[in-house]
Amino acid sequence: MELLTGEFRNTLDEKGRLSLPAKLRGELPGNVLVVTQGIDSCLWLFPPEQWRALSAKLLEQTSLFHARARLIQRRILAPSQEMEIDKAGRIAIPQALREFAGLSKDCVILGITKYIEIWDAEAYRKYLEANESEFLAAAEELGGLTF
Amino acid sequence: MELLTGEFRNTLDEKGRLSLPAKLRGELPGNVLVVTQGIDSCLWLFPPEQWRALSAKLLEQTSLFHARARLIQRRILAPSQEMEIDKAGRIAIPQALREFAGLSKDCVILGITKYIEIWDAEAYRKYLEANESEFLAAAEELGGLTF
DNA sequence: GGATCAGGTGGGAAATAGTGGGAAATAATA
DNA sequence: TATTATTTCCCACTATTTCCCACCTGATCC
């Protein structure tokens, strides 16, 4: 698996299906992805292997008897579902997740090296707009990196 | 049994029955679940095996002679009931538990890897809303997890 | 330029899941 | 014991999901 990258724009159809760009699909190990709620209003898609690694780490740190742990479990682990990529290269996004991310028709698909994000196009535009200055500040902090 | 995950939204009918999502049902070992009061206003559903393990651990740590222990026992162990899943894939939620979790018509069903939670939809929305900043703080702390 | 191909989109039909409700069985009440 | 209420079992309707195929569009190739 090479690095998953690229920004794409596809449409969610009436049945809640979204085409994964062929460029990304080509880099995936199989035809199954784990879809879950991201932080910020987007969805995260992981290849099952990666997800197992991440969720195992999360589970280690959490106990049913700590409020914070329950919050993490409910917010990240619980919403996750394994979904199969159909013959046309689409995944069906479960309804609860569609609602969470506010997906309507136009979606943005981001390849972020090891996982994929899905945003509602409009929501993503607003997110970028709202965080532009924060981004510039973060970039300043990276100043130490020489290039 | 794989991991039970996914967030679903089903409706409690007039007779107090709730469909378990097929996705979750498929991962369950049998057709019996132990239902009990959870922490926060939700119900917990365990496969009998898991429940035995958890309740045994709870009992070990607790003594009849400590007030706190009795509280744990009354709050978690006592309300538990074994319920059977009917042919249509539903479980009947005992009235006392329905009241505890404030279940009305719309319910949220969460698969949390080893057990299932049931929430009133509205109550869950409020819980998430009330804890959003706590969640973001917790997520920041997870920053140590490399991925 | 026209044919071919691949990626993306839409939709019909069959199968499955979720929901509601009737009737029999059981339990509770007077 | 008669009556009422509750639970259980079963069936039926509806919505959703899944599977499959067809179409459109833009790029490539001859």
Average per-residue pLDDT for chain A? 92
A vs B: CB pairs below 8 A: 66
**Strands of the B106-113 sheet, one edge to the other:** B4-11, B106-113, B115-120, B43-46, B32-37, B81-84
Closest nucleotide relative to residue A17's CA, C1' based: C9
Tell me the per-residue pLDDT of A52-84, one tens digit each, with 9 for 90 and over: 999 998 888 778 889 999 999 999 999 999 999
CATH level 2 (architecture), domain A4-144: 3-Layer(aba) Sandwich (3.40)
Q: Running DSSP on this structure, what letter comes out for residue B74?
A: I
Residues of chain B found within 8 Å of residue A71, distances taken between Cβ atoms: 131, 134-135, 138
The answer on pLDDT for B117 being more than 90 is: yes
Neighbours of A132 (CB within 10 A): 10
Q: Which two tokens stand for residue B45?
A: 């559903």
Instruction: Report the alpha-carbon distance of residue A98 to residue A22 in Å, rounded.
Output: 22
Amino acid at B113: T
Q: What is the CA radius of gyration of chain B?
A: 16
- Interchain contact, B117 vs A71, CB within 8 Å: no
Tell me the per-residue pLDDT of B57-113, one tens digit each, with 9 for 90 and over: 888 877 777 878 888 888 888 889 999 999 899 999 998 899 999 998 999 999 999
Task: Please give the average per-residue pLDDT across B127-137, as a whole number.
Answer: 95
> Nearest 5°: phi and psi at B92?
-85, 125
Cite the beta strand spans of B12-146 per DSSP E. Answer: 17-19, 32-37, 43-46, 81-84, 90-92, 106-113, 115-120
Per-residue pLDDT 10s for chain A (147 aa) are 567 789 999 999 999 999 999 999 988 888 999 999 999 999 999 999 999 999 998 888 778 889 999 999 999 999 999 999 999 999 999 999 999 999 999 999 999 988 999 999 999 999 999 999 999 999 998 887 778
Determine if strand D comes within 7 Å of the CB of A4.
no
Task: Give pLDDT, residue A137.
Answer: 94
Chain B residues 89-108 with Cβ under 7 Å of strand C are 89-90
Instruction: Report the alpha-carbon distance of residue A10 to residue A116 in Å, rounded.
Output: 14
CA of B101 to C1' of C20 (A): 23
Question: Is any Cβ of chain B less than 8 angstroms from the Cβ of A62?
Answer: no
The answer on pLDDT for B147 being more than 60 is: yes
Task: Give pLDDT, residue B131.
Answer: 96
Instruction: Report the alpha-carbon distance of residue B117 to residue B131 in Å, rounded.
Output: 17
- Interchain contact, A95 vs B128, CB within 8 Å: no
Per-residue burial over A21-48, b = 16 or more CB atoms within 10 Å of its CB, e = otherwise = beebeeebeeeebbbbbbeebbbbbbbe
- Interchain contact, A77 vs B8, CB within 8 Å: no
CB A51 within 8 A of CB A80: yes
Determine if strand C comes within 7 Å of the CB of B121.
no
Domain positions in chain A are 4-144
